[in-house]
Amino acid sequence: MEIDSAVLYSKLKTFFGYDSFKGDQEAIIRNLIEGKDTFVLMPTGGGKSLCFQLPALVMPGTAIIISPLIALMKNQVDVIRGFEDEQIGIAHFLNSSLGKAQIQEVRQDVQSGVTKLLYVAPESLTKEENIDLLRDVDISFYAIDEAHCISEWGHDFRPEYRRIRDMIQTIGKAPVIALTATATPKVQNDIQKNLGIMDATVFKSSFNRPNLYYEVRDKVDAEKDIIRYILQHPGKSGIIYCLSRKKVEETANLLNINGIKALPYHAGLDAKTRAENQDRFLMEDVDIIVATIAFGMGIDKPDVRFVIHYDIPKSIEGYYQETGRAGRDGELADCITYYSYKDIQKLEKFMLGKPISEQEIGRQLLMETVAYAETSLCRRKMLLNYFGEDYTKDNCGVCDNCLHPKTTYDGRKEMSLVIRLIKSLPEHFKIEHLAYILSGRVNAMIKSYEHDTIPLFGEGKNHDDKFWCAVIHQGLLLHLLEKEIESYGRIYVTKKGEEFYSSPWEIRLVEDRVFSNKASDDDDDDAANDKAAMKGGGGDPILLPMLKNLRKDMSKKLNLQPWIIFGDPALEDMSILYPITFNELHSCQGVGEGKARKYGKEFIELIKAYVEENDITRPAEYVVKSAPTRSADKIFIIQSVDRKLALEDIADARGLEMNKLIEDIEGIVSTGTKLDLNYYIRQVVDDDIVDEIFDYFKNEATSDSVEEAMQALGSDYDEMEIRLVRLKFLCEVAS
C-alpha cells in the first residue's frame, strides 16, 4: 500500500499538532503501511503511540490496539477524539470498565466502519462475542502495546498475552506491530517468538533519557523527606509509586494533611473513581498522583516533573517504565527511589506459594534491582547495559553516583579471580552463586553442587558476597563477562574477558553503597516514627554547632544532661526548619509543647537572630503534620491513665499485649504529653529500684536509650522496670 507523504504529514499536523516526526517514527509507520510485521523498542516518552495511531488513521479498515492499561486506553482515545468534534467515533476502547449501553455503541461504530482505532484489553479479546464481532471487520493491523507482558521475564507478565497469536489467527491475519518501552535481549526474543514475528523489521531506539536525573536514597524518614521535596517544588506534577494499596491511601492522605493536593490511584478503587482521579491529575486540579507499583498507570502526561518510588519496584523493567513517566516533554525531571533491603525481603515473601519457576524468575529480576539500587556506578550506565545498550561516557553528570562519585581501586586482581572461578566450573552459574563461592558463604545450592569443596571456595573471603556481586556487575559493564540469553542470568567469560585474563590491564572499580538496615517507614509504629532520628548532614552547618553550644551551656546551668533538654534529632530539625515560635518548635522531633515552653525560649531567640542576620528564607512549611493514626487508642490510654487504671486493665480493654501498651505510652510521652504513672509504678516497682534507675537517667545517661540503660545498670534490673522509670523521668524532668 502506498500513502502519499502529504497525507501523512497532513494527518500528523491535524491530529497531533506536529510538523515533523521524531527519531524512527516515520520509518516505523512506513514499514507498517507496507504491510510488514514491525517490532518497536522505544523508551517511554519517545513517541511509541504515534507509531500505531497515525497509520491507523490513514490506512483503510480498523486497527486493533491490544493494551493492558485501561487508563492509557482512555487517555489516548480522549486525545484522538479531542481534535475534531465530528471524529467522536474514530477511536474507541472495549474493556471491563464499560457498561452495556456503551459496549453497544462501540459495536455499532466498529461495524459501520467509523472506528479507526479499537483499543482492546487482552482479556476482552478472548471473549467469544468480541471475536465474532472482529471476524466481520476489515482489520488494518494489530498493535500489541506493552509487548513485554508476553514474556515471563518481562516485568508485568500477563498469561492472556500468550494467547494473542492464537486470537489473531482466529479473527483474521493482518500485519502486526509490537511495541515496548522496556525489553532486555531475552524479553525481545520471547516477544518475537511468541507472536510469530521472528522476521519482523526491528526498530530499536536508544533507551537513554538524558533529561532524567536518577537517585536512590536510604529509606529513613522517607515520608518526611518526600513532603520536604514536594514543598520545595511547588505546583509541579509528580507521581509517587507505593507497593500496597494501603500505603497509597496513607501517603495520599498524609500529603493532603500537609497542604499538598494528592489523589490515590490503584486497582481497589472503582473504575469511576480511578477515571475521575486520573482526569483531575491531567487537568491539574491536583499536583500528585499516588499509585501502586503493581497497577499500571499509563497516563500520558508530558510535564510530570518527578517520579518518586516510595517502595522499590520488582524489576528494572518496571522501574524504567515507571520513571519514564517523568519528563516526556524533554525537560529536566527527577526520579527518586527510596531503598531498604527490608522491602526486598517483603517482595521475596510475596513470591512464596507461586510455582518454583516463577519464584526463580522473580528472584532473579529482584536481584538485578538490588544491584542497581546498591551500586556506586553511573546509574544510567547500569540501566542501559541492562537493556543491551552501551553508554560510553564515564560520568553522565545526571545521577547521584556521578554527582557524588566514590573512590575507585585497581580491580584487576579481583576481576581475574572472578574469571578464574567461572573458567574452572564445568557449568555456568548466576551472579549470587559465584559471589557466595568467592566469599565462602554456604547455602543449599552451594552444597548440592559441592562447591564448598573446590579450591576457590572462600578464596575472596576477605570481602563479603555483596562486594563480589559488585565486581561481577562491573565485569558485565566492561564486557569482560556476559549473561546467557536463554538461561537468563548465567554468567560466562567473553573473548575480551579471556584477553584480560591472559594479560590483565588496569580497571578502576568501585564498591557498592551501604544502606542502613533500619525498617522502612511502614514497618514502624507511631512511637518509632516519633523517635526516628534524621540522618545528620542535612541541617545548617553553621547554626547546628551554635545550637549544640547553647544546649551545653544550659545543661551546665540547669545541672541536666544535654540530651534531656533537647536530643540531637531535635537540634538537627531546628537547623533545617528554623523555628521562631513555640508552635513551630514543638513540631521538631521529640519536642512536645511542655518541653518547648520549658527549654525553648533561648533556642527560639538564637534561631530568630541567626535568620535575621543571614537573611534566611525559612522553610516553615516543611514541618510535617502526622496523620491521626490510632488516635482513638491514644486518647483512650491518656484518659485511662488520668483515671489511674491499672495498665493491665488498659491493655485488656484495648486487646493489646503489655509490651505493645508500653510502646504506645512511650510514643505518647515522646511527643511531649505528660502522663502521671506514679500510681502504677509504686505498685509494681520497689522504691529503692525506682530511685536508682531515676538517678541513672538524671546523672549518668547520655541518652534515653533503654538498651544503654540495661547495659549500664546490669542484670539486677528488669527491662519493664527500666522502661517504666524512664517514662517517669521523661515526664517529670525531660518534658
Q: Domain boundaries in the chain?
A: 5-204, 212-402, 412-506, 536-622, 631-734
d(CA 345, CA 51): 40
What percent of the chain stands above pLDDT 70? 86
> Which residue in the block uniquely carries the three cell numbers 544510567?
380
- Helix boundaries (H) for 34-97: 50-58, 70-81
**Per the structure block, which three cell numbers stand in for 347?**
517482595
> Which of 17-31, 391-405, 690-704 bottoms out in mean pLDDT, i.e. has the lowest?
690-704
∠ Cα 696 699 702 (to 5°): 85
CA atoms within 13 A on the CB side of 78: 14
Q: How far apart are CA 218 and CA 513, in angstroms?
A: 10
Alpha-carbon distance of 650 to 660, in angstroms, equals 11
What residues pair up with 203 in beta bridges, in sequence order? 40
Q: Classify residue 349 by burial, with Cβ atoms within 10 Å: 0-12, 13-18, 19+.
A: exposed
Q: Tell me whether the CATH fold assigned to 412-506 matches the one assigned to 631-734.
A: yes
Residue-wise pLDDT tens digits, 73-98: 555 666 565 544 445 558 887 766 67
| Model pLDDT, residue 10 | 87
pLDDT at 64: 92
The pLDDT value recorded for residue 626 is 56
For 566-584, what is the mean pLDDT?
A: 83
What pLDDT digit, counting tens, does each position of 371-384 carry? 888 888 899 998 99
pLDDT tens figures, 112-168: 888 888 888 888 887 888 888 888 889 999 999 888 888 766 555 677 778 888 888
Most confident of 77-86, 342-351, 723-732: 723-732
Distance (Å, whole) CA 324 – CA 310: 16
Amino acid at 138: D
The predicted-structure confidence for 456-503, as pLDDT tens digits, reads as follows 999 999 998 888 988 998 898 888 998 876 665 789 999 999 999 999
Q: Counting every residue, how long is the chain?
A: 735
pLDDT at 251 over 90: yes
Owner of C-alpha cell 547553647: 550
pLDDT digits (tens, 9 = 90+) for 164-217: 888 888 888 899 999 987 777 778 888 898 889 999 999 988 889 899 999 999
Q: What is the predicted pLDDT for the residue at 415?
A: 95
CATH code for residues 212-402 = 3.40.50.300
Which range, 414-418, 660-664, 730-734, has the best average confidence (pLDDT)? 414-418
Tell me the CATH number of domain 412-506, given options 1.10.10.10, 2.40.128.110, 1.20.1250.20, 3.30.70.600.
1.10.10.10
Higher pLDDT, 102 or 331: 331
Q: Assess if CATH 3.40.50.720 describes domain 631-734.
A: no
Residue 519 scores a pLDDT above 50: no
Could you tell me the pLDDT band of residue 333, with boundaries at 50, 70 and 90? very high
Classified by CATH at the fold level, domain 536-622 comes out as: DNA polymerase; domain 1 (1.10.150)
- Look at the alpha carbons of 498, 504, 507, 510 in this order and tell me if their dihedral is positive or negative: positive
- 631-642 and 647-654 are packed helices; what angle lies between their axes, rounded to 10 degrees? 150
pLDDT at position 286, please?
A: 93
Q: What does the pLDDT average to over 331-336? A: 93
CB 53 within 8 A of CB 41: no
- 179 φ, ψ (degrees, to nearest 5): -135, 140
What is the distance between the terminal CA atoms of the chain, rounded to a whole angstrom?
A: 82
Q: Secondary structure of 306-333 in the HEC alphabet?
A: EEEECCCCCCHHHHHHHHCCCCCCCCCE
| DSSP secondary structure letter of residue 201 | E
Residue 578's pLDDT is: 84
506: Cβ–Cβ under 8 A, 6 or more apart, which residues? 410, 412
pLDDT confidence of residue 86: 46
Say if residue 24's pLDDT is above 70. Answer: yes
Q: Which residues pair with 202 in a beta bridge?
A: 39
CATH 3.40.50.300 holds for 5-204: yes
Distance CA(457)–CA(452), nearest Å, equals: 6
Q: At what angle do helices 465-477 and 431-439 cross, to 10 degrees?
A: 130
Find the helix or strand (DSSP H, E) in which 555 lies.
Answer: helix 543-558
Chain mean pLDDT for the chain: 82
Distance of CA 659 to the CA centre of its chain: 33
List for the chain the helix, strand, coil content (%; round to 5). 50, 10, 40
Q: Are 333 and 307 in contact (CB under 8 A)?
A: yes
